[in-house]
Chains A and B, each alone.
Chain A
Amino acid sequence: MPRPPASRKAALYGGSDPATAPRGLTARILELGEELRGEGVAVGTSELLDAFAVLREVPWAHPADFKEGLAATLAKSQEDRRIFDLVFDRFFFRAAELAAVREGITEGGGMDAAGAELNLETLRQQIAQALRDGHEAMMRDLARLAIAAFGRQGEGSGVIGVDVQRIRRALGLRAEPQPDLPPDDPRADGLPRDAIRRFEALLRQELERRQIERTETLPPARPLNELDRALPSGPLQDLAAVHRVVAQLKRRLKTQGHELRGHRRQAIPMSSNLERRARPCHRKTLAPAIRSETPVFGNVASQRQQPGRRGKNRSAWSDDAHRVRQSGRQLAEMRQRVRQQQAVVGTVRNRRFAVGEVADIRDVRRRNNVEGVGAPYSATESLRIGIGLHFEDVPGDEALLLCEKRVEVIAIDRRAALESVRRRERDGPAQVAPPRPLVAAHQRTESNGRPRTDQPLRLLSHSPRSADRISLTAVFGIHG
């Protein structure tokens, strides 16, 4: 039974050595297709046939058209195109070098000899100018000169990447501005990052070319992620890339509701901790959920849960789809128990609270015959359903934590709460201010007079019981 070929590339030539593989453009295109497949690009036979059809229309001697024509048929997405560019450059560079080795063609070392006569400072400036202008051909020529001038032929580290970085440092090529340099120096304002990368790639290519000439063999092809640092190179980097994308998507999703309503994302000053955390879109998730009796009661308790205490911290609101189901059930239960006059408790940052009321706010207003500023729920004029949360005997500093950290739960009157606690600290128990509404006017409305809709929960009052403990009442509101 014949053994399966070691690789598809080997199979391409019936198991023969690729170095002795058939010559000609057709064979090279097939090899290129194989390399692309190896990098995860879906290149089928139909793509290769299209590529051959394209090459009948586009002269292969015109490099730009040749590359674009192949790209149009072999790379069918932006990601594929990025890989195609890297593989194309690597493949045809190596193909040309292999042909040169076969034919015994060398470029000679004339450039090294010229290196001694180079004015290094002029060279630095010329390279910087070429990078600034994005002049590819000039960059390629100057890369050779740079190797001649700074490469210290024969004293190389043996690792091409190290030599590239050494030359780059010697040239002083940096993306950041360099105020120490004279203003007319092209490097003074910093150089385009992409151009620096391209120049590094050219340096690398030239160093590789010299290595191939010296050893008369092709080194193993370098992985793509060495050619482009943006490409993930291992499972950990893959995972990091995934996390980055997920975080980006989450940010977009969480701010989407606010954008639709035309509100500023951060209208009130928040601590840096809060800035990192976008607020959930309560309107989108909670209102329909409550209406349909399957509300959302999210599990976003950020503190680490201890074994055996799982589920006790489910108390904060979230629009996270994964948490909707279980938390929805929880609030549904809560509503039921409130109706049955049972005590209901939840926990926010380990602080237990009782749910005092689940009611239609408009009914409450009507019942109490109260309207306008100063009345209960006055901060919630546009809210329809309100749920009162009573926190008993909260230590002062924890009240601040409740206010500051759990923005998903408590619409903050941070300033007032802060002042209250500071005053208490300063004046002692006898001087504590009497209970009063903590909703400040500046937080009730936007500058355009419209009620804020991104702060569903309002801290309504606090009642000091001792020097360091207060009670808080907050209401969570759903806009109707």
Chain B
Amino acid sequence: MPVPNSVDDVSTGLRSVGYLPGESTALVSYLAAKLGKPILVEGPAGVGKTELAKALAKYLDRTLVRLQCYEGLDEAKALYEWNYRKQLLRIQAEADGAGWQQVQDDIFGPEFLLQRPLMAAIAAEEPVVLLIDEIDKTDQEFEAMLLELLSDFQLSIPELGRFEARTRPVVLLTSNNTRELTEALKRRCLYLWLDYPSLEHELEIVKLHAPELSDAVARKLVEVIAMVRELDLKKPPSIAESIDWARALLLLGADDIDGRTFTDTMSIIVKHRTDLDVVAERVGVKLGFGAASAG
């Protein structure tokens, strides 16, 4: 299990598993691993927040435990749950003479505990990477419940007492910034804002994931993507969509991105009807679609 000793170690390690981190990403990941602090990763959708957790797990050779958050997520789905059916069976199988205390001791034990992701991360024998994905989708009560876990890496179960983490997990919380998280939660985390990458950085990412794409097409692709992101769209294209587009162009055997190619394939990067109109009008024309169609 590799232990990073410097920011460069993390940067190299993440690159080795196919994730090209920016400077601040490598630095904050290194600090999180060294200081044992959770990272709160915010940024628009599709910039690689979840991928960062996956890449860290791969690089650190740890299991990834993922909790996907949604509205209404509660303790039973995130922490633990008692296995009521098993408890009931146990009570029914209990001898007639068993007293209340004996039954209670029997049924509230680890054997009857169903572990959910947070509990699993705490109870793991080997250190894990815990990804709490899209934390902004949950409500504040759930955030409050996380505080004990994030600060002390422990959980309290009323019937059993306190569970402390056997190993210190690397924790990543991701958020699309759709709502403001509580100060208490932020206070416990290192903060990392992931934005759309620079042109050169994105070119590197695209080349990594679609190595067969020619340099000229790859460069034009990221330039067009950058152009599209500058427009006022409902959903600007993400890095994942850039990669998808690159793969689609490869599949189609495109040796250039002209107006026609762009218009035919732009639905890979633009996912709203009004956005399609805007992009076709602004970018398609720049790429010469109007001239091509007129001719």
Contact = CB atoms under 8 A, between A and B. Distances in A.
Interface string A309-338: 000000000000000000000000000000
Contacts of A73: 190-191
B35 A76 contact: no
A58 B31 CA distance: 9
B27 A76 contact: no
A46 B150 CA distance: 14
Nearest to A80: B191
Contacts of A81: 191, 193
A76 B272 contact: no
A69 B274 contact: no
Contact of B28 (A68, A255, A259): A68
B191 A77 contact: yes
Nearest to B42: A78
B277 to A, nearest CB: 7
Interface string B261-287: 000000000001110010000000000
Contacts of A265: 274
A75 B28 CA distance: 13
Interface stretch (B13-21, B152-160, B181-189): B181-189
A42 B185 CA distance: 13
Contact of B183 (A42, A57, A255, A264): A42
B226 to A, nearest CB: 12
Given A54-B35, A57-B31, A58-B31, A72 B274 contact: no
A436 B2 CA distance: 82
B273 A72 contact: no
Given A54-B35, A77-B186, A259 B273 contact: yes
Interface string B177-215: 100100100111111110000000000000000000000
Contact of A264 (B23, B30, B234, B274): B274
Nearest to B35: A53
A360 interface: no
B187 A47 contact: yes
A343 interface: no
B191 A76 contact: yes
A68 B23 CA distance: 9
A63 to B, nearest CB: 12
A42 B187 CA distance: 9
B66 interface: no
A53 B31 CA distance: 9
Nearest to B36: A53
Interface string A20-31: 000000000000
B187 A72 contact: no
B187 A46 contact: yes
A224 B24 CA distance: 24
A410 B147 CA distance: 54
A72 B190 contact: yes
A314 B143 CA distance: 44
A44 B183 CA distance: 10
Contacts of A264: 273-274, 277
A446 B23 CA distance: 50
B28 A57 contact: no
Interface footprint category on A: 20 to 34
Contacts of B272: 259
Contacts of B188: 46
A78 B177 CA distance: 9
A312 to B, nearest CB: 38
Contact of A72 (B31, B34, B180, B183): B31
B24 A72 contact: yes
A76 B34 contact: no
Given A69-B31, A264-B277, A76 B189 contact: yes
Contact of A54 (B31, B192, B234, B273): B31
Quick one: which of A46, A64, A72 has the most chain B CB within 10 A?
A72
A262 interface: yes
Interface size class of B (residues with CB under 8 A): 20 to 34
Contacts of B192: 72
A57 B190 contact: no
Given A78-B42, A259-B272, A72 B277 contact: no
Contacts of B168: none
Interface string A43-74: 01011001001100110000011001101110
A46 B278 CA distance: 47
B37 A50 contact: yes
B31 A64 contact: no
B149 interface: no
B274 A259 contact: yes
Contacts of B273: 259, 262, 264
B64 interface: no
Contacts of A72: 24, 27-28, 31, 190-192
B187 A44 contact: yes
A262 B263 CA distance: 19
A50 B7 contact: no
Nearest to A53: B35
Contact of A75 (B30, B34, B191, B274): B191
Interface centre among A44, A68, A265 (most CB of B within 10 A): A68
A304 to B, nearest CB: 32
Contact of A76 (B7, B28, B40, B277): B40
B69 to A, nearest CB: 19
A78 B35 CA distance: 23
A73 B187 CA distance: 8
A260 B193 CA distance: 30
A264 to B, nearest CB: 7
A57 B34 CA distance: 8
Contacts of A50: 35, 37, 190
Nearest to B34: A57
Which of B27, B37, B177, B190 lies at the interface centre, i.e. has the most chain A CB atoms within 10 A of its CB? B27
Contacts of A58: 7, 27, 31
Contacts of B42: 77-78
A259 B35 contact: no
B191 A57 contact: no
B27 A69 contact: yes
18 contacts: A46-B187, A57-B34, A57-B35, A65-B27, A69-B27, A69-B31, A71-B24, A72-B190, A75-B191, A76-B183, A76-B186, A76-B191, A78-B42, A78-B193, A81-B191, A255-B274, A259-B274, A265-B274
Nearest 7 CB-CB pairs, A to B? A76-B186, A72-B190, A68-B24, A76-B191, A72-B28, A68-B27, A57-B34
Given A57-B31, A264-B273, 13 more contacts: A53-B35, A57-B35, A58-B7, A68-B23, A68-B24, A69-B27, A72-B190, A76-B40, A76-B191, A77-B180, A81-B191, A255-B274, A264-B277
Interface of A: 42, 44, 46-47, 50, 53-54, 57-58, 64-65, 68-69, 71-73, 75-78, 81, 255, 259, 262, 264-265
